[in-house]
Structures are given as C-alpha cells and as structure tokens.
Structure 1
Amino acid sequence: MKQSDTDPAARAARADAPPGPPEGGRVEALDLLRGIAIIGTLGTNIWLFTHPLGPASAFLDIPEADSAAGAVEVALRALTNGKFLALLTILFGVGLGLQYNSALRRGRTWPGRYPWRATLLLLEGLLHFVLVFEFDVLMGYALVSMIVVYLMVRGDGWARVWLWGAATLHLVLVAAVTTALVLTNDGSAGATSGKTAGEPEWVEVYATGSWVDQLGARLDNALLFRLEMVLILPMGVALFLVGTWLLRAGAFERGARGDRLRRRLAVWGLGAGVPLNTVTAFAGPDWFLVDRYVAPPLVALGLLGLITGWALRARGGAGPLRCGVSAVGRTALSCYVFQNLAASALCYGWGLGLAASWDGARPWWPPAAWAGIVAVFMVGATLWLRRFDRGPLETVLHAAYTAPRRAPARRGR
C-alpha cells in the first residue's frame, strides 16, 4: 500500500485492491467474531468484578491451583484469559483495513478524518475508565490506531518491519518482567503478601464503598490501572497489523485461498497456543504475563480461523443464538460498556454488593453472573437492532464524528 493509492489515477490502476463488503453491507462473520470477543472479555473481567477486592485483585490475589476450588477457578479463567482481548484487538485491525478499502473505493484520502474518530474513541475510553472500569481497552485501541493508520499508506515493507519490531518488543518486555518475578520469588506467593498489605483498603472501596469512593480510587491509582494499557501497546500494534494483513490475504473470503489460510490459522494457532496456555495457566502467578499476553494471541488466531470457516460454511438461516451473538457484534461498543456497568451494579457495594456477600460461592457464582449478564445484553442488542441501525453509543459517536463535516453545509444555507 503506497501513499500514491490516495491519488485517483493510482486507485483506478490498483487491480489487486482487496474487495470490501457491499456498499452499506456488512461482513457477517466479523459481526459474529466481534460478538464472541465481547462476550469473552466479560468472561475474563467477571472474575475481577465478583472479587471483594474488585479490579485490584488482578494485582493482589492472583488465583493458584493449591486447592480444589483454586484449581477450578484457574481452569475456568484459562478458558477466556487474554484470548478474547487478543481476538478483539485483531478484529479492530481488520476494521481499519475495511475503512481503508472503503476510502479507496470512494475516492477519499487516507487517513483523512480518521484522527478525529480516534480522538472520540480516546475520549470515550477515558470516560469509561474514570466512571466505570479500571481496565478499559478503548484508550489503548485509540492510541494504537493512530500509529497503524499511517503505516497503512507507507507500504507493506514498512508494515512488516513495524509488525515484527512491535512483536519482538512485546516479547522482550514480557520476558524481562517474567524473569524478574521468577528470580525475586522468595518462596511465598507474591499475590498473598500484596493482599495482606492492601486488602482492607480495597475491600472497603469495592465491597462496601460508594461509587464516589471508587472514582477517587481510580484517579488516585491511575498509573497502576493504566499500566496494562502501556504494556500492551506493542502487542496492539502487532495485532492491528496482523488484522489488516488477514483481510488482504483473504481470511474472510469464500474460496480456496481463504479456506487454506483459515485451516492454517486453526491448526497452528490452536495447536501451538492451547498447550502453551494450559501450561502457563497452572504455572503460578509469576507466569501471569505469559499466560495473558503471549499464548492467548496464538489461540485467538486459531479461533478466528476456526469460527470464520464455520460461519462461511454454515447452511440455512441463523438460529437465535447466532443472531444474538451477531447482534452483540454489531453493537460491540455499547455492549462492552453495558456489561461493565451491569457487573458493577451487581457486584459492588453501591449496587447489590454480591461480590462480598457471595464470596464463599466462588468459583461457581462468577460464571452464573457472566451468563446472566450475557443473556441480558444479547436480548437487548437483538431488540435494539430491530428499530435502529447502530447501538446507542455507536449512534452518539457517529453523530459526533459526522457533525464537523455537516456544519459547513448548514452555515452555507
């Protein structure tokens, strides 16, 4: 992809430009994948919401398989931990690729007004972080997208250099932190010692505190809670670029080329990722970063190949479950924020306070809470889309994105 692609003559001559969806249409497999990714992210985050320490438990009480209940929780967490974050990140890159192709077809320059779109996403993520959830991913996606959109017009060579460079930097960072954790482990669980020092304060904030108390805790500990966003920026760049490459390579197209690529993704991604993820899941807290940020992207690529292949081969109409998951994918931003709001109201002290009162029911009640919240927003998304084309937050952001473009026309009347 060259900068000259933004010129009309170059666009007309570009015979190998990858096709996009029909004008006004959608890639149904992507809606399904996004829905699965959103549902899967709640499968990871529900363990934080349902813990009396709230999101602070990610630092203070990482579970270990040192008891029957602990082993069950580790196994259940391993089903979702990191995999759907990686899948969602790859799909965001695919979305950028679709927007790029659409800009070429319509004769528009790239990235054009995309920086304004990314700014709106950054602001939405900031509000989501401050008001709702400590581990918001939208801010990180906005920052990464601002890098990738400019790489997309620098050529495939530059994109490959950045992809491998970002992936290498990510692996080096994870390896360095993991090595430090292993070498400094004094034989007692790091999570336990941290929990002893910090538990009373955090229990008060999340289990019994008010929403204002939690807002203050987020702001006071913003650097701690935003550390993950900084850590995964290199991984985000790499996975965004993987997503744009998968689109160009035909991963979402019918035909022999797409089938071969999807089979390879499923075989190599699941074949390498699942065994590695199984080992790291039970390796203890010191290996947490490898378990969340190294093995899961491999599994995510395998899931992408497997699910996309199944979706493209499926015959007949979609059933209620598939329709519900696809509806979540079409309203992904709204469902992502809603699920965190719903989990907060269910678990925190300013809501029903179930995290503290039902702590003895772990590890069984978090999956039940996950299933209940998922059922609510699947039904809600399906009903919403019967009347509207976009989700609620998607509608607001679209209006904000298009408002500057409409303003000059209004003034000229």
Structure 2
Amino acid sequence: MTKRIAALDVLRGVAIMGTLGTNIWIFTHPGGPAQLMGLGGDRGAVETFLTFLTNGKFLGLLTLLFGIGLELQYRSAVRKGLTWPGRYLWRAALLFAEGALHYVLIFEFDVLMGYAVIAVIVAYLIGRSDRVIRSWMVAAGALHVSLVGLLTLAMLTTGDIDSPTSATALYTEGSWLDQVVTRLRDLPLYRSELIFIIPMGIVLFLLGARLLRAGVFDERGAALRSRLIVIGLGVAAPLNLATSFAGPAWFAVDRYILPPLVALGLLGLISSITLGLRGTPGPVRTALANVGRTALSCYVLQNLVAGVLCYGWGLGLAAELDWLRPWWVPVAWAGICLLFMTLASLWLRRFHRGPLELAWQWAYQAPWTKRGSMHT
C-alpha cells in the first residue's frame, strides 16, 4: 500500500473551493450562466478583479490533479499486475454517469463528463514512451491554442456573442424542473465547453502525470516547484489580469490559455507550503485536506447549496441581493465553503470516504465482487 500524498489532498481541497469561486458568480447572477462569459452587463472593476482571482485557474488545477490521479491509478494497476486500462474504463464510465446526473439535476457547467472522456483517451497514452506522450501533448496543445485563437478572432471581429441562457426569468422565477428541462433541451449549447476543453484536458492530464513522475511532491522537486511558481504566478498571472480587463472578446484566452499556466504556479506554491510544514496539521490544513478527501461529494454539494440559496425555486437570493453585488458574492462563497469544510470534517470522523465516494466505490467494485462470488 502506497503512502498517501498529503499535499495532494490539500490541493484537491483548494481546487474544489476555487471552482466554487468561479461558479458562485454564475449562481448569484440573475441572468444565470451568461455571467460565465461576462455577458450579464458591465461587471465593473471590482467584480472583474474578483472573478479574475478564480476564473479558469482552478479548472486548470483540478484538471492537473485528475491527471495525477490517473497516473496513481496506472501505477497501482502495474504494481498489482492488472491489465491496463482494464477496470479503469469502468471507473471512467461511472465518472461520466455521475457527471451526467450532476449536469441534468444540478448544474449546467459540470466538468466530470468531460474529465471522463479525457480520462479514457489518456488511459491509452499514460504507459507509452516519453516521445509518444510529448507528441500528443504538442499536438493537443497546438489544437487547443488554434481553437482559442479562432474563437477570439471571431469575437474580436463580430463583437460580443449573445447567449440564449441569459433569460433572467428562468433563474429568478423558474422552477427546478424548468431548469432540468432547459438543460436537456439545450444540451449541445451547455456541453459545448466539454468538447472545447478536451485538447486542453489531454495536455493537462499528461502534464500532471509527468509532474508526478518528476517528483513535484518530493524533496527532490524543489527546483521544479520554483520554476512552476515563476511561470505561473510571475509571468502568466499578470498577463491574465490584463486579459480579464480587456473585454468579453478575450474570454477564451482569459479562461483557457493563461489560467492553466497560473494553475501550475498554484500547484507549485501550495505543494511547497504544504511540504514545508512540520508537526501536526493545523485546523485550516486539516479542513482543506478533508475537503480534498471528499472532493466529489463537496463538488456536488457546493453547487446544490448554491442553487438552493440563489435560484427562484430556492431562497432566490440572486434576485433579492442583486443590489448588493458584487459585495455579497464573496460572503456567499465563504459561507458555502465553511459549510462543506465543516460537514467533510464531521463525516470523516466516522467514515474513511465521503458519501458519494463510498457509493461510487461500491459501484466500481460491484461487477468484480459479484463475479468473484459466482466462482466461490
């Protein structure tokens, strides 16, 4: 049994909180998902800066961490002498099913379905030679940059793109069932981001695996972590700040090109801080690690709670507190984070996995458990 990587749990916790930091601006906007592209009107300097802090960065960080997780699964399979990808394909299928339910029932911008598709592709690459992996990373990266470039050029040429999801009534007055029906009806629109990020996801999955192999979580990885901090926080972050204020036409660059580089800096910084700590973990580090250990449950819970708080079928705070925007939005984010940090810590006092993680693990093991019982 391999030793658990403490920094990885903390990073997952930070990534989950960071994804809410992006999504909370969608939930708290009366126009709903249009806010993701800055199409909900003039956001103002304060809101633009606040959204800059999270937009795309924790999507990138979470994607890197999924790649690291895939590498760990691959190592485990090799160590046990199991066929690869073998059972991992069933794992990806369950992730896709979980994402599909999350998308239909809770949130338009679920990322789990996309990660499941990317995981299947990368599973067939992870054990190949360095030359093959580098070739795939270069090809996928070139495709991703080209797609972002074409989209940015189109938006600069034609102006802002209107979104049919900006109808305020659906989110301030519509029922939960109305939103479910809209997600099913507009599935090609809402799932377009899933297709769009596949090349980026391939690069980040493979990069995460390579960083783990290079010792990013070991003492020998100090120089590597320093380089990541310089690239991500010293170079990419200032450029990302500039694109955040450059207008909606730069949306794709602002979300899909620079933020993944910033995510590398965050990975380097948080890993360095965590590895540098000695002694018993304090309450903050423990809470972050607990969120990381229950990441799937916290990801779904945060979006469910945000929907209950903000949408018309719940408390309707998006409309009621719009006059306090953007000031009330960070408060809502902090409150939801505190909630799932507390619940995760309480849950793990009794169970070793989160509730969805336990159900998911049972579903993952069920086919082979039944097969084994039939042979006994």
- TM-score class normalised by the smaller sequence: over 0.9
Q: Which residue of 2 aligns with 1:92?
A: 66
Residue 54 in structure 1 maps to residue 17 in structure 2: no
Shift of 1:412: 3.0
Q: Which residue of 2 aligns with 1:154?
A: 128
The 3-state SS of whatever aligns with 1:270 is helix
Q: Which residue of 1 aligns with 2:372?
A: 409
Shift of 1:31: 0.2
Q: Which residue of 2 aligns with 1:80?
A: 54
* Structure 1 range deviating more: 126-135 or 94-103: 94-103
Which residue of 235, 255, 267 corresponds with 1:272?
235
| TM-score normalised per structure 2 | 0.97
Residue 174 in structure 1 maps to residue 148 in structure 2: yes
Q: Which residue of 2 aligns with 1:212?
A: 177
Q: Give, in whole Å, the separation in 1 of the partners of 2:258 and 2:221.
A: 24
The question of whether the paired residues in 1 share the 8 Å contact of 2:298 and 2:340 is answered with yes
Q: Give, in whole Å, the separation in 2 of the partners of 1:310 and 1:245.
A: 21
The one-letter amino acid of 1:158's match is V
Q: Give, in whole Å, the separation in 2 of the partners of 1:409 and 1:164.
A: 43
The one-letter amino acid of 2:248's match is P
The one-letter amino acid of 1:309's match is S
Q: Which residue of 2 aligns with 1:184?
A: 158
The 3-state SS of whatever aligns with 2:127 is coil
Shift of 1:58: 2.8
After superposition, what is the alpha-carbon deviation per residue over 1:338-359, rounded to whole angstroms, capped at 9, x for unaligned? 0000000000011001111111
Task: Describe how 1:253-332 pairs up with structure 2 within 5 A.
Answer: 253-254=218-219, 257-332=220-295
The question of whether the paired residues in 1 share the 8 Å contact of 2:34 and 2:165 is answered with no
Q: Give, in whole Å, the separation in 2 of the partners of 1:127 and 1:111.
A: 24
Q: Give, in whole Å, the separation in 2 of the partners of 1:63 and 1:113.
A: 47
Q: Which residue of 2 aligns with 1:20?
A: none
Which residue of 290, 296, 299 corresponds with 1:333?
296
After superposition, what is the alpha-carbon deviation per residue over 1:52-107, rounded to whole angstroms, capped at 9, x for unaligned? 11123335725546xxxx11000000000000000000000000111111112222
Q: Give, in whole Å, the separation in 2 of the partners of 1:330 and 1:153.
A: 26
After superposition, what is the alpha-carbon deviation per residue over 1:311-364, rounded to whole angstroms, capped at 9, x for unaligned? 111122111111111100000000000000000000001100111111111001
Q: Give, in whole Å, the separation in 2 of the partners of 1:162 and 1:198.
A: 35
The one-letter amino acid of 2:79's match is R
* Structure 1 range deviating more: 130-139 or 150-159: 150-159
Residue 230 in structure 1 maps to residue 189 in structure 2: no
Q: Which residue of 2 aligns with 1:36?
A: 14
Q: Give, in whole Å, the separation in 1 of the partners of 2:185 and 2:372.
A: 44
Shift of 1:205: 1.1
> How many aligned positions are there?
376
Q: Identify unmatched segments of 5+ residues in structure 2.
A: none
Change (3 A) 1:411 1:198: closer
Q: Give, in whole Å, the separation in 1 of the partners of 2:238 and 2:375.
A: 63
The one-letter amino acid of 2:115's match is Y
Q: Which residue of 1 aligns with 2:211?
A: 246
Sequence identity of aligned pairs in percent? 57
Shift of 1:238: 0.4
Q: Which residue of 2 aligns with 1:17?
A: none
The question of whether the paired residues in 1 share the 8 Å contact of 2:170 and 2:178 is answered with yes
| TM-score normalised per structure 1 | 0.89
The one-letter amino acid of 1:45's match is N
Q: Give, in whole Å, the separation in 2 of the partners of 1:168 and 1:409.
A: 46
Shift of 1:108: 1.8
Flag the structure with larger Rg.
1
Q: Give, in whole Å, the separation in 2 of the partners of 1:207 and 1:58.
A: 17
> Which runs of 4 or more aligned residues in structure 1 lie more than 6 Å from their structure 2 counterparts after TM superposition?
none
The one-letter amino acid of 1:353's match is G
The question of whether the paired residues in 1 share the 8 Å contact of 2:25 and 2:36 is answered with no
Q: Give, in whole Å, the separation in 2 of the partners of 1:385 and 1:63.
A: 42
The question of whether the paired residues in 2 share the 8 Å contact of 1:63 and 1:74 is answered with no
After superposition, what is the alpha-carbon deviation per residue over 1:218-244, rounded to whole angstroms, capped at 9, x for unaligned? 111111111111111100000000001
Residue 343 in structure 1 maps to residue 306 in structure 2: yes
Residue 106 in structure 1 maps to residue 80 in structure 2: yes
Which residue of 300, 320, 331 corresponds with 1:368?
331
The 3-state SS of whatever aligns with 1:151 is coil
Q: Give, in whole Å, the separation in 1 of the partners of 2:180 and 2:75.
A: 41
The question of whether the paired residues in 1 share the 8 Å contact of 2:26 and 2:33 is answered with yes
Q: How much is the aligned-residue C-alpha RMSD, in angstroms?
A: 1.4
Q: Give, in whole Å, the separation in 2 of the partners of 1:412 and 1:387.
A: 33
